[in-house]
Amino acid sequence: MSARHQLRWSTGWTLALVATGLVESGAARSRDMDALAVLEEARLNAPVVTASGTMAVSVDVDGDTAVVGSPLDRSAYVYARSGTTWTLETTLTAKGRHDFDYFGWAVAIDGDTIAVGAFRDLDDQGSVSVFSRTKNGWAREAKLTASDGLPGDRFGVSVAVSGDTLVVGADSDFSTFPDQGSAYVFTRVGKKWIEQAKLISSEPHVQALFGESVAIDGDIVVVGAFQDSVVRDNVVYGDQGAAYVFVRSGTSWTQEARLTPSDGGFRDFFGVSVAVHGNTAVVGAYHSNVGQNVEQGAAYVYTRSGTIWVEEAKLTALAGGPEANFGISVAIQGDTVAVGAWLEDVGGTTNQGAVYMFARSGTTWTEQLTLTASDAAAWDTFGRSVAIDGDTLVVGSPQAKVDGDIPEGAAYVFRGIQ
């Protein structure tokens, strides 16, 4: 079992120390007794309490800037760090009045670019707003829709940005089959965003929801299809899920791999979350059964050699419980992976949520740290979203309470990620 200690500093910050962990890679398990220390630096709250319960459904961070989505408030909040202090820099809002467009359901930031998805805009066709940083703050640069978009496509259910390239998921797009899903790639030329490609699965299925999650790093895109059906050993595993890797050469995108778990099962929902950094991808399967624990959840790590992707490890939480939904969110940077378990019961506190940190040495991944909020309470759903950049981790907790009982939601910033 993980040893968890909370030490209060006079500043009000919390130092979390966790001493043990396990990682599963095939059938092998290893224990690492090295402790990591991570500081909870800030809790980011909405400027106005609306009890929406959706703030931090999505989060992202780049350097000293964090963006937090709040879709029922139709807002994305941008926070800036100076030293160790985080301040609300601006509130991004949707263009036009569409009360239930879910602007803020998905957010992404890279450098001076922020993308915000509104998948219910335009009768659920969906849209994505792009903002750029100027000397006077953040300005709306474009509102994007799919060139072949139709009502019900849910364009903007997921977004990811890298440099001048943006990828957008449309998980209910009817490309060949109902709710098959697709993803669109846009590139910026000057100040204009141009649709460069439409990505679809090489093995389309009804209700695969390809595009439910997307990730990008340079010329590599990973797209999750968490209700995809997978055939293994002549058995059809419905809703097992899959993730697809696409690579760019020039202006052309080609599918390089279809990732599926070696031990996947029915309704694992592999692909509900994806992340990629360099030649490593992480895919969450939040309904995967672990031992006797139903829907405890798992995350799988894949590495690339040449054009071949190989499953390197299966990550599970050592102290995880049933229905924790470990894998609802994943993030990666270098040899560090964060995995959210938003329905994890912690110390008997129902659905408090937790985030598990893993580190790689060689090809071995070890659970290093379990993070919880310093003011955690039941039903906070801490870990619904996660993002890493540098030594900073941001965690979304959409049901976190304000004034003890109002489920507004919040994002937590941790510093000291290795």
Q: What is the dihedral angle through the alpha carbons of 167, 211, 66, 196, rounded to the nearest 10 degrees?
A: 10
Write down the pTM of the prediction. Answer: 0.90
pLDDT tens for the chain, 418 residues long, are 222 222 222 222 222 323 222 223 222 222 232 445 689 999 999 998 887 778 999 999 999 999 999 999 999 999 999 999 999 999 999 887 677 899 999 999 999 999 999 999 999 999 999 999 999 899 999 999 999 999 999 999 999 999 999 999 999 999 888 899 999 999 999 989 999 999 999 888 888 999 999 999 999 999 999 999 988 888 888 889 999 999 999 999 999 999 999 999 999 999 999 999 999 999 999 999 999 999 999 999 999 999 999 999 999 999 999 999 999 999 999 999 999 999 999 999 999 999 999 999 999 999 999 999 999 999 999 999 999 999 999 999 999 998 777 889 999 999 998 6
49 in helix, strand or coil? coil
For 328, the domain range is 4-415
In sequence order, the β-bridge partners of residue 123 are none
Q: Structural domain tally of the chain?
A: 1
Q: Supply 136's token pair.
A: 């006077």
Helices (H) and strands (E) in the chain, counts: 1, 36
Q: Give the CATH number of the domain where residue 179 resides.
A: 2.130.10.130
Contact 59, 46 (CB under 8 A): no
Q: Round to whole Å and give the CA distance between 57 and 391.
A: 22
What are the residues whose beta carbons fall under 8 Å from the beta carbon of 49, sequence distance 6 or more?
A: 402, 403, 406, 408
What is the total residue count of the chain? 418
pLDDT at 97 (0 to 100): 62
pLDDT at 5 (0 to 100): 22
Q: In what order do the strands lie in the sheet with 308-315?
A: 28-31, 22-25, 308-315, 298-305, 280-285, 270-277
Q: Supply 192's token pair.
A: 């204009």
pLDDT at 36 (0 to 100): 52
Longest dimension (CA), the chain: 61
Is the Cα dihedral 133, 70, 197, 149 positive or negative? negative
Considering only CA atoms, which of 227, 337, 239 is closest in space to residue 281? 337
Residue whose tokens read 């999750």: 224
Q: Supply 288's token pair.
A: 């995967």
